[in-house]
Copies of this chain bind each other. A is one copy, B any other.
């Protein structure tokens, strides 16, 4: 899988999954991995960034299966960001696709 494609996109994926349900980091890796390869070395720094920017809050919860889990919950600002990023993603892919099919050329 092309690593470059993921740049900036994993952030929307995380926000989008969190918009559906609160998750802990390890769980997010599992959820997103169903569709896109993602590693832990990516998700944890990304989650820290989202917290620093105020898009998520966290809380700890004990687990019977291992160490405590750090859950992530979207803030209002996070929901807004999720919505805006998604719209931007849609606009962007539409623009790219129109280039890829050569729509902008006259005799095509």
Q: Give the residues in chain B near A36, CB-CB below 8 Å.
A: 92, 95-96, 99
Residues B2 and A5 in contact, CB atoms below 8 Å apart: no
- The total of chain A residues at the interface (CB under 8 A) is 34
* Closest chain B residue, CB of each to CB of A91: B1
* A59 interface residue (CB < 8 Å to B): no
Q: Which of A12-20, A61-69, A70-78 contacts B (4 or more CB under 8 A)?
A: A12-20
CB of B100 within 8 A of CB of A89, answer yes
Chain A 1-12: CB-based contact to B (< 8 A → 1; otherwise 0): 111110111001
**Contact partner of A5 among B8, B35, B102, CB < 8 A?**
B8
Q: Which residues of A contact B (CB under 8 A)?
A: 1-5, 7-9, 12-13, 16-17, 20-21, 31-32, 34-36, 85-86, 88-89, 92-93, 95-96, 98-100, 102, 104-105, 108
